[in-house]
Amino acid sequence: MMQQLIHKLQTEQCNLVILHDGKIHTFDGHGIRTLYGLLNSQPELLYNSKIAVKAVGRTAACAMAEGKVAEVFAEFISDQACAVLEESGVKISFDTKLDHEAFLDVWKRLGELNN
């Protein structure tokens, strides 16, 4: 099922794909803002879900851990995010793991950071 989420992430115009209770939800825009919005307005959507996302930094990983996400695939993930998710018992897979500085460059390219 994760492969289906990854395919949607890579072929559709979205930054975040969530599988919860057998239903797939796609989101565009800023990934971290979307995650925090869901955490505050629809936390049940994150609970025990599978997520495919373009990039996961430490803050996004904290939101995923707080929301009790079960599994995450990221195209790009920071070292710090990996540590947070591993510590929380979240199953992780990724294409590229980056140190903080390299991750910030990716985050800027994706429009998450305006510097």
pLDDT digits (tens, 9 = 90+) for 43-60: 999 999 999 999 999 999
Is residue 39 a part of any domain in this protein? yes
Is residue 44 a part of any domain in this protein? yes
Q: Write down the pTM of the prediction.
A: 0.91
pLDDT at 23 over 60: yes
Is residue 31 a part of any domain in this protein? yes
Question: Domain range for residue 12?
Answer: 2-109
pLDDT of residue 113: 62
Is residue 104 a part of any domain in this protein? yes
Residue with tokens 């969530």: 18
Is residue 55 a part of any domain in this protein? yes
Nearest 10 degrees: CA dihedral of 82, 96, 1, 67? 30
pLDDT of residue 29: 77
pLDDT average, residue stretch 98-115: 81
Helix, strand, coil: what percent of the chain each, to 5?
45, 30, 25
Q: Which amino acid is at 110?
A: L
pLDDT at 35 over 80: yes
pLDDT of residue 110: 77
How does DSSP classify residue 13? S
pLDDT average, residue stretch 77-87: 97
Q: Where are the alpha helices (DSSP H) in the chain?
A: 2-11, 31-41, 43-46, 58-66, 79-87, 100-109
**CA angle at residue 6 from 103 to 84, to 5 degrees?**
45
The whole-angstrom separation of Cα 54 and Cα 4 is 15
Inter-residue contact 71 to 90 (CB < 8 Å) = yes
pLDDT of residue 114: 61
Tokens encoding 95: 């294409």
Is residue 53 a part of any domain in this protein? yes
Looking at the 3D structure of the chain, how many domains does it have? Answer: 1
Is residue 115 a part of any domain in this protein? no
Inter-residue contact 63 to 36 (CB < 8 Å) = yes
The CATH number of residue 29's host domain is 3.40.140.30
pLDDT at 111 over 80: no
Is residue 29 a part of any domain in this protein? yes
